[in-house]
Every structure is written in structure tokens, then in C-alpha cells.
Amino acid sequence: MKRILFGASLALAMLTACAPQQKKEVLTESGLNPENFVTTTENGKTTALYTLKNAAGVEVCITNFGGRIVTLLVPDKNGDMKDVVLGFDNVKDYQTIPSDFGALIGRYANRIGYGKITIDGETIQLPINNTVHTLHGGPKGWQYAVFDAVQEGDNKLTLTLTSPDGDNNFPGTVNAKVVYTLTEDNAIDIDYTATTDKKTVINMTDHSYFNLNANSAEATMDNILYVNSDSITPIDATFATTGEMMAVEGTPFDFRTPAPLTDRVTADDNEQVKFGKGIDHNFVLKTKGDDTQLAAKLVSPVTGISLEVYTNEPGIQVYTGNFLDGTVKGKNGVTYPQRAAVCLETQKYPDTPNKPQWPSAFLEPGQTYHSHCVFKFGVEK
């Protein structure tokens, strides 16, 4: 009898060993399943999720689909790790739900008026995708491109893209490279470079939607904002820049002294706030291209999390999530309401190609475009 039982046990053990083993999901600290970001696109490129970490436990998850920052875990005032960006938990939603969540924007961040640029006397019509303007590179901007990715160690990711001549009707074959580095002092250093074989325009940025309250189900306008700026570039009712500079003094756009966003974004008696449905404006920075000077700072009174922004760019677009409308579900099935986040987009001024009085966005063969942005996180108790 013992021999029979032993034989049965041995057979069962052999069958168990030969049976297919269920693969254990290995999730990121933020709870993402990397397998949900793997797919092959129509042009044969593969998407994936890349995770950067530092010794302090900060984690940044980035997908090469659109160069998007998907999650960003930073410590709050109690030392608890909080995800402070909006996004989706799978690549399919990024592909099928129109959004700029966490995206690497190119060729041209922000609006180009009426989709027209003139290069060496030739007027080029770009595709219109925002009322009567071209926004964020057009309907198929780089936020929907698949970048080639190389990760070096735990803290560095390099994304590259070759954008062909005529991409969204922009001239020139452009080779772009973006390097994300997570530093040990809890900063994300983003370094952009690009070259072209024809004269073109370039203006790249990161479009992360920051919710420093770490509660994306609610508006985050209690956050306190500082911007190192005396003026904005005002817009008209279509969001086109007028070409003027408007002093912030005495307006809802005066953040030279840190102030909550709350009342500023609903100040409809101000024409600019009314045009922007809140704040959706480019601030002219006083930093003069010095990326060691503080350009902007956002602080959550709830979590104590602070975000400092440094850049070599002349402007920063502050956008208060005015067009979020409660219809999009993001990570963990959370529906994002209006003003659930703040975007701080370092860049050239909007419609710069048509405003010769502003810092140039033109790039010629033999030149190298370079933009630098640092998002540095801290805690204020």
C-alpha cells in the first residue's frame, strides 16, 4: 500500500512540475503592471514601460509611447510615497483616448497661430487641431510616436526619434534625443536636443499634469504657486497670442509672491482668465536662460510636497487643467475632474515662429537645438 501511495505522489509531483506555471506579475512600486504597456504598433515598433529609481525611494515610470511620464512617486510630509501625476495604467488608453498626460511634446509645443509658418519666404500650412490653430505639433504630434529607448542603470533613460521631412507638414528630417535622469536629490532632469537637415521650427516640452495633493479625484487649486515673471503673453478669444507683453501686476497672473490658485482661475472679470477658461498662459521668465535660477514653484498645503522648476527656456506655460471635464478615467479607475492638476511647461513662447520680436524657435542644418528642464521635489511641513 505504501508503494502505491509513494508512486501516486511521485506521479503527481512530476505532473505538477511539467504543468505550465502561472507567471507572477511584478508590479512597480506605484502599482503599474509593465506587461500592460507592451504592444507592437502598426509600423512594427514595440512599446514598453521603463522604471527609474533612486536611493530615497522616488520612482518615475515612463513609457516610450509618447515619452510619457506615467507615475511619479515622491515622499510627502509624513514620509509616505505619493503618486503626483495624472495618467493611464495601460498603453491602450494612451493610444485611444486623446490626451497629453505626461507627454513629450514636439515638434512644437503650444499653439502656432492658424497653423501657418513662413520659412525663407515659403508659407507652410500645418494641420489644424485646436479651433483654428495647430497645437502641440498637430493631431499626430510626438505624444503619439514610439521612441527608441535605452535605459542606463536605475536612474537614466534616453529616448530618440527620427521625425521625417513632412511629419505633420513640418519641414526637415529631425533627429531628436531626450534624456531623463532621476537624481539623488529627488529631481527629474530632462535634457532635450535635436538636429535637422532643413530649416524648421522646434519647441519641445514635458506635459506632465501635476497633482501634488496626490488625490486626482479632486481639484487641486488650493496649491500655492510662485512664478518668476513680471509679464505674460496675452491671448485672444481663440487662444492666439497677440504679440504683446502684459504686466502681471494687479492681475490674477501675479504670482511673484506665492499665492493659492483658487480665486485666480475663476476670476472671470479678467478678460485673460475668461479667454483661457482659467489660467492657460505663457509667463515670460526673468531667469534669462539661467537654469540655476528658480523659474516656478508649486506647493501642496495638503501633502507638503513642493515642486521647483528650473529651465534655460524663456517661458513657462501654466495650465490649470481647465479642459478636464470629468469624462476621462485614469489610473485606478479615477475620473479626473476639471482642474485636477497643474501643468508647468517650459518652452519658447506660443506662436514664436510668427513673432520675430520673440526668442527664435527656428533651427537650421548644422545647429543643435537644446532645451533643459529640472523638476525638483521636496517637502514643506
Please tell me which residue in 59, 308, 313, 345 is annotated as part of the active site: 345
Q: Give the strands of the sheet with 369-379, arranged side by side.
A: 148-152, 156-163, 174-182, 187-196, 369-379, 305-311, 296-299, 224-227, 259-260
C-alpha 217/C-alpha 69 separation (Å) is 19
**DSSP letter string, 168-194:** GG--S-EEEEEEEEE-TTSEEEEEEEE
Handedness of CA 266, 256, 305, 206 (dihedral sign): positive
C-alpha 330/C-alpha 280 separation (Å) is 22
Other residues' Cβ atoms within 10 Å of the Cβ of residue 335: 14
- Alpha helix (H) residue ranges in 19-98: 91-96
The verdict on whether 136 is a catalytic residue reads no
- Alpha helix (H) residue ranges in 79-157: 91-96
Tally the C-alpha atoms within 13 A of residue 56's C-alpha that lie toward its C-beta: 18
| Distance in angstroms between the alpha carbons of the first and the last residue of the chain | 71
Please tell me which residue in 133, 136, 207, 281 is annotated as part of the active site: 207
The verdict on whether 345 is a catalytic residue reads yes
SS3 content of the chain, % helix, strand, coil (to 5): 15, 40, 50
**DSSP letter string, 294-331:** --EEEE-TTT-EEEEEEESSSEEEEE--TT--S--B-G
Question: Cell numbers at residue 359, please?
Answer: 526668442
Question: Cell numbers at residue 210, please?
Answer: 501635476
Other residues' Cβ atoms within 10 Å of the Cβ of residue 322: 15
Tell me which residues are annotated as active site: 207, 345
